[in-house]
Amino acid sequence: MTFSQDLNLLIAALLLAGIYAVMAVGMTVIYGVMKIVNLAHAGFLMLGAYFAYELFERFHIDPLLGAVLAMPVFFVFGMGVHWLLVRWLPKSDTPTLASLLLMFGFWLVLQNIAYIVWGNEDRSITTPRTLSAVTVGPISVPEVNLIVFAAAAVCLVVLQVVFNRSWFGRSMRALIQNPYAAQIVGVDDERTSRLTFGLGTAFAGFAGALLGMIYSFSPDFGRPFLLRSFVIIVLGGLDSVSGVALGAVVLALLETFGPQIRFHDKYIMPDSLQPALSFALLVVVLVIMPKGLASVLSRKRRLT
């Protein structure tokens, strides 16, 4: 393989990492604040893709704009879901059986409503942009992937600012660190949880729409991405936003370069096994560093 091919793959992997990060971050904030493993995340991703698809097919709205529009819509939707279902769950420091099963049930409902509405054939959003590529010297990148990456990066930066600078972000961080102490100093647990769930859902819808610009989708669209989101947030240490970015890069690099590894000029891993890679990574991470990559790095920093 030539150097330029390697470079192309590297850039593709980094672009992929951007979208993976946005996809996982919605799940991370919800887990961090409420300790709920949001299995319905897969359903929200799928709905996000169909949201952009419908806007594009019916009103000819650019899917990128559709993705941005998805944010407020899914924010309200997420707050509704929290108000209707999630707030009744018992509070706990670790994920409860009840929360897992509730979110899973909701995912089943979303998925199968989508089957009824859209059927099970694959859809895709095809714009004039879909097939064009940007070429700089030896490097060639699909235009859509670039746009999606840029949107994802902007979104993550905005989230980071909200997280660090706003009152809401401060309440979120307080709840993540210590829910009891946070309530003692006056953080409104119920309201922050509702807003967080809305925020997580908004990110899921946004990421789903972005993913829909790159891949074709069906009502079962979210499932493989659900596992990837899990792996990313486990790598990132379950509740840190910057950890998510790191986890996304690691997973994207592995998925891109894994099938390229050769031994005696033979590919070790057939392409078809690629979906199993994220699980293998998960097991390895759990065995070697159960607290995630971020914790390993921060420990080093403290020591030196």
Partner 1 sequence: MKLPSSPGAWLKVVLPWLLLAVLLLLPASGLSANLMKLVFITAVWTTASVAWNLLGGMAGQVSFGFAVFYGIGAYTTGILMHAGWNPYLAFLVGGVLAAAASFLIGLPTFRLRGPYFVIATIGVTEAVRVVMNNLDITGGSGGYRIVEDGPFRPLEHYYTALVVVAMAVAISAIIAGSRFGLALRAIKQDEDAAADLGVNPYYTKLKVHALAAALVGIAGGVYARRAAFFYPGDVFAFQTGISILLMPVIGGIGTVWGAVLGGVIFGTVEEELVANFPNIHLLLYGSLLILIILFEPDGLMGLLRRLFRRRREGPGSPDTDKVLWGSGRVEGREL
Which residues in this chain contact partner 1 in the complex, by CB under 8 A? 31, 37, 85, 88-92, 94-98, 100-102, 104-109, 111-113, 115-116, 223-224, 226-227, 230-231, 234, 238, 270, 272-273, 275-276, 278-280, 282-283, 286-287, 290
Supply the minimum distance, in Å, between the C-beta of residue 228 and partner 1: 10
Residue placing its CB nearer to partner 1 in the complex, 51 or 107: 107
Supply the minimum distance, in Å, between the C-beta of residue 254 and partner 1: 14
How crowded is residue 267: how many other Cβ atoms within 10 Å of its Cβ?
A: 11
Supply the minimum distance, in Å, between the C-beta of residue 1 and partner 1: 24
How crowded is residue 117: how many other Cβ atoms within 10 Å of its Cβ?
A: 10
d(CA 70, CA 52): 7
Give the DSSP per-residue string, 77-134: HHHHHHHHTGGGSPP-SS--HHHHHHHHHHHHHHHHHHHHHH-SS-B----TTTT-EE
Q: Residue 275 in contact with residue 224, Cβ under 8 Å?
A: yes
Supply the minimum distance, in Å, between the C-beta of residue 87 and partner 1: 9
Q: Residue 260 in contact with residue 9, Cβ under 8 Å?
A: yes
Give the DSSP per-residue string, 158-198: HHHHHHHHSHHHHHHHHHHH-HHHHHHTT--HHHHHHHHHH
Supply the minimum distance, in Å, between the C-beta of residue 160 and partner 1: 24
Supply the minimum distance, in Å, between the C-beta of residue 107 and partner 1: 7
Q: Residue 70 in contact with residue 56, Cβ under 8 Å?
A: no
How crowded is residue 6: how many other Cβ atoms within 10 Å of its Cβ?
A: 12
Residue placing its CB nearer to partner 1 in the complex, 90 or 137: 90
What residue type is assigned to position 31 of the chain? Y
